[in-house]
Every structure is written in C-alpha cells, then in structure tokens.
Amino acid sequence: MPPTTTQDIIFLALAFVTLASGIAVVLLRNLVHAGLMLGLSFFGVAGLYLLLHAEFLAVAQVLIYVGAITVLILFAIMLTRQVVGADTAPVSTQRLVGFATALAVFLVLVRFMYRREWPGIFDNTEVLNAPTVLGRQLLTTYLIPFEVASILLLVALVVAIVLAKEETVVSLTPKLNTIYEETDSPAKEEEK
C-alpha cells in the first residue's frame, strides 16, 4: 500500500463533497437548496477532473454545469413555484424500492469493477499540456463528434425556444376549435 499523499487527501475530500452534496440533492425537501447542492456536487466533480489531468473539462464543467445548468434549474424552480412542501418530498412508499434498486445497481457495478481484469493499467500522468492536445484532436481525429455536438446544440436551442414560447401548446386546442367552428358555420348556414 503506497503512503498517503496530499493528492490522496484532496481526492478523499473531493469525493466526500461530491457524494454528500449528491445525497443532499436527492433528500432535501426544499428544491432551491437541492439546486444549490447540485452546484456544489458539480464543483466536486470538476475538482476530480483536475486530479485526472483533464483541465479543459474541469473548466468547462464549472462554466457549463455550475454557471449555466444550475442557474437554469433554479430559474425553472422559481417559475414553477413549488419550492417547499409535501409536493416536493420524495414518496415514502417508493423509497424502499428506490433504495433497493440503487443498491443492486451499485453492487453489480462494484462486482464488475473488481472482477474484470483491465488491460494494461498505467498512470497516464505524462499528458502534458492536455488542452492543446485535446484541441488538436477535436479538429482532426474527433472532428465528426465535435460537429455533431454543435448541431445538437443548435437544434436544442431552437426546440427550447419553440417549446417555451408563449401560447404554443397552451392555446393549441382553442385555436383548433375556432378553426373548426369557422369552417363549419358557412356549411350550416347553407343547409338552412
């Protein structure tokens, strides 16, 4: 067993923060608090990325997850106004089933983790200047996934605007009714 280093202590602290705030996200009754805990959990994962020498992803994680997604979720919580109360609490009858399922999945994952013999484990710490390397590879080796991701973002942008626009879905049925009434009324008049 190698001696405990500073990195190990940092890893343990980050893992604890990530998991504890993740559990808080699941269990807290107040949704706003859960959303803030979600941001803390994302921060913990960003720290773990740094430990794994994924500097660009760590920064992207902070920018996108902590900066954008958490704020988006908090805005949605405030727009729907179901912050506190019995409505936001987890269902007590499903708690046992949920816990059993989660535990079963965890056990299966751990079993695979320790039974599988990984091919050629090494500590790949020699990746110097990883953002440069990643940038080069995103435009050469991984060009198609990169472009697909950008198209996906564009489509998501358009769809989100169309969905959240005022009076698209809300008034769909009344509009259809008025159209039918308008087309029906001349025919009825002719019958008379």
Partner 1 sequence: MSHQMTPYLLVGAALFCVGIFGVLTRRNAIGVLMCIELMLNAANLNLIAFNRFLGPAGNTLTDGAVPTNYYGPLLGGHAFGIIVITVAAAEAAIGLAIIITVYKNAKTINVDEINWMKW
Q: In the range 125-144, which residues lie near partner 1 by CB under 8 A?
A: 125-130, 132-134, 136-138, 140-142
145, 152 in Cβ contact below 8 A?
Answer: no
N-to-C CA span, the chain:
95
- Compose the 103-122 pattern: x for residues touching partner 1 by CB under 8 A, - for all others: x-xx--xx--xx---xxxxx
- The tokens of 173 are what? 């049925």
What residues between 154 and 183 interact with partner 1 by CB under 8 A? 155-157, 159-160, 163-164, 168-170
Q: How many CA atoms lie within 13 A of 83 on its CB side?
A: 8
CA–CA separation, 94 vs 85, rounded Å? 18
Question: Is 105 or 185 the residue whose CB approaches partner 1 more closely?
Answer: 105
Q: Least CB distance from residue 181 to partner 1, whole Å?
A: 22
> In the stretch 19-58, what mask flags binding to partner 1 with x, by CB under 8 A?
x--xx-xx----x--xx--x--xx--x--xx-xxxx-xx-
Residue 68 binds partner 1, judged by CB under 8 A: yes
Helices and strands in the chain, H and E counts: 8, 0
